[in-house]
Structure 1
Amino acid sequence: MKRARTDEKIGRELLGRWNDIKAKIPVTRTPTGLPLPRLALPEIDEPGEIARYLFGEGLPGEFPYLNAAYREMYLEPVREIESFEKNEVVAAGVAPAKQSKKQPTRLPLQEEPTRLFSGLMLAEDTNERFHYLTRHQRTHRLSTAFDGPTLYGIDSDADGVFGKIGEGGVAIDTVEDMVRLYDGFDLGSPNFSASMTISGPAPIIMAMYIAAAKRRFGPKV
C-alpha cells in the first residue's frame, strides 16, 4: 500500500486495473427493473485503498479469498472460473490454448456448504424458484419450505384452509405435486439432494418423494 501511494507509476497501474474491473462487471436487474452490478465494489479511487482491497481482501474467487471462495460467492458455475478482469471463461486448471470446446462434464462433487431455502404457492411456482436459485450452482442442494396445511397434514381442499394455501411455503397434497415440485432435477444424481422442513407428516412426504423419483426414473432409482 505504501508503494501504491508513493510510486506514481504503480498508482496509475492500480487505478487503471480498478477501473477496468468495474467496467467489466455485468449488470443484472431486480424484479422491479432496477439495474444493479453483479458485484458491488467500494467507491474508492485512491491507489493505496485500491491496493488494500485487492491484495488484502480480494475479489470473490481470488486470493486471499476473504470475500468468497468462488467468483459467484456460493454460486460457482460447473468447473468454470470467470475472471472479472478478463471477462472471459477459463476452464479451471487448463491453459487457454489447450481448452476443449466440449461442455464440462458434471461429476460427483462434495456436499455444498449452502442449501437454498424456498417454498411458495404451488409446486410449479416453487419449482421455478428452485431453478432460478440453482442456475449457477455446481451442485443442486435444495431446502424445501411447506405451507401450514401441509405441515399439519391437512389437504388443501379441507374446510377453512383456503387462505393458508401456499402461504409461507409450498402446498403439497399428492405425488403429482411432488413430481412437479422437483421437475427438471435429477433426483438420483450425486450432485442433487433435497432437505425438507417438515415434522408430523414427514413419513408421508418422504414416501411421496420416493414415489415421485420412481415415476420419473424407474423402480430401481
Structure 2
Amino acid sequence: MTPKTAEADRTAPVRDADFTTISGRELKNVYTPDDLAPEDLGENLGLPGDYPYTRGIHPTMYRGKLWTMRQFAGMGTAEQTNQRFKFLLERGQTGLSTAFDNPTLYGWDSDHPLSAGEVGKTGVAVDSLADMERLFDSIPLDKVSTSMTINAPAAWIFTMFLANAENRGVPLEKLRGTIQNDILKEYIAQKEWIFPPEPHIRLICDMFAFCADHVPQWNTISISGYHIREAGATAAQELAFTLMDGFTYVDAAIEAGMNVDDFAPRLSFFFNSHMDFFEEIAKLRAARRIWARHMKEEYGAQNPRSWLCRFHVQTAGCSLTAQQPEVNIVRTAIEALAGVLGGCQSLHTNSMDEALALPSDKAVEIALRTQQVIAFESGVANVADPLGGSYLIERLTRELEEEAESYFAKIREMGGMVKAIERGFPQQEITRSAYEYQCALSEKRKTMVGVNEFVHENEVLEIPILEIGESVERDQIAAVKKLKETRDNVAVKDSLDALEKAARTKENLIPHLLRCSHAYATEGEITETLIKVFGEYREQAFF
C-alpha cells in the first residue's frame, strides 16, 4: 500500500456509530507510539513478575499455574449446595466459591420475620455450625481452597467454617481460601450492612490479626469492585473506589497497631470483567500498578508480597440478558478472556440463565467449560501478558490510572472514604454513570443484542430454569427450631454473654465468635448480641 493510499484510507468515511467505551471513554481510530509517554514502555511496564507488576504478578503467569476456576455456587439448603460443589469439582473446577442467601447476608436467621420468602432463593441458607457441617460434608477442607462471599456477618460465618474444620481435625494453618469481608463497598453499592462503619472495620482488623497468627494461608478480605461496577460504575470508578476502600482498610489496621507487612500479603481483590474488552484488560493492569506503588511508596511496605494486587475476576452479571439467554454464553466468553488477559488469579464465569434464575446444572457446566476452553484450547495461557506493549492497552492503562488518582485526591479532600460515603459521593457518582449508560441504551447509542437491537418478537424461552421450592424455607425453619431445642443452651448463653462483654472493650472478637460458633449459636443470635453494643446503621438518602 502506498503512503497516498494509506492516507486516503485514514480519511475515508466511517460508520455512524458511537466509538466510545462502555464507560464513555473517547477512542481514537488508531494508536501509535505518539500516544504513549516514555515511561509507558519503560518503568511503567517492565516484565511480568517485576514491580510495579503492570504485566502480572508472576514471571511465568499461566505457564507456571493456571488461574483457579472457581464457580460461584449456592442454592436452597446446605445439602443442595454441597451437591452442586461436588458436581463442579467432578467436572474439573479447581476451587469452591460459596453464595449465601439474602437472610444470611443480612445476619438474620431463617426464622426471622424479614427472611420470609427469601430463604435459599439466591444462595444457600446458613444459620449455624450445623449448616456449615452439611455444606462442606465430605469435601477435603485442607486440599480445596474455599471462597465465601459474605460481608456484614463475615466474621461469624467465617468462625463457623473454622469451627467445622477444627471439629474435623483439620489444622487451621492448612486452610486456604478467601472471605469477602468488604463492608465499605456495601455502603457504596450492595447495601447489605448491619452496624455503622467503625465497628464493622474493627471486626475486619480483628480478622487481619487473628488470621495472621492462626490461619496464615487465608485471604482475610476480598476488596470488591465487582458490586460497585454492577451498580453502574464506570471502569475508572470501579478501579478508584475499590482501591480507595483498600487503602482505608490498610490505614485502619496500621492505626490498630499492626505492621503493614504482617497483614498486607493476605489482602486480595475482586473485580468485574465487563463487555468492553480492551478497557477491562487495561483496568486490571492499572489496578496492579497503582496498588504496588502506593503500598511500597506511601505505606513503606518492605515485603514484596505486600505490593501485590492479587485478584479474582467474575464476568459481568449486569451484561446478561433475559432475552435470547443463549447469547450470554458469548458475552461470558469475551469477558472471561479479558479477565485472563488482564492477569487474574481466579475466575468465575457467569451462566447463560443468571438473568432469570440461579444457574441450572447444564448452564453452570457450560460456564465452566468456557474457562477450560480458554485455558486449554485458545493458546492465551502460553505467553505471559501477550498484550503488553500494545499502544492502545498501554494508553488506556495510563488514562485509567490517572483518573483513579484524581478520584483519590477528591476523596482525601473529603476526609477519606468513610467521610465520602457519609456524604454520598461515590453513590452519586455511580448513580450518574448508571443513568448515562441506561440513556445510551434507550437512545440506541449503545447496542445490546436482543434487547434494543436484533430483537425476537414473541420469544419463547427454550432453556431449563432452576426453581427453589417453598419446602426449602419450611425445612430450614424447622431445622433452626430443632437446633435450639437440642443444643446446650447454657453454653450458648455463656458464649454470647462473653462476646457482648468483649465487644465493649478493644479485645479481638474472633476467638469469642469462634466459641459462639462451637456452641451452635445461630447467626441471628450473634448479630443481635453485637447490635446491643454497636447499634444499627441507617443510610442517609442521596439524590
TM-score, normalised via structure 1 length: 0.46
Higher helix share: 2
| Higher relative contact order structure (alpha carbons within 8 Å, sequence separation ≥ 6) | 2
For normalisation by structure 2, the TM-score amounts to 0.19
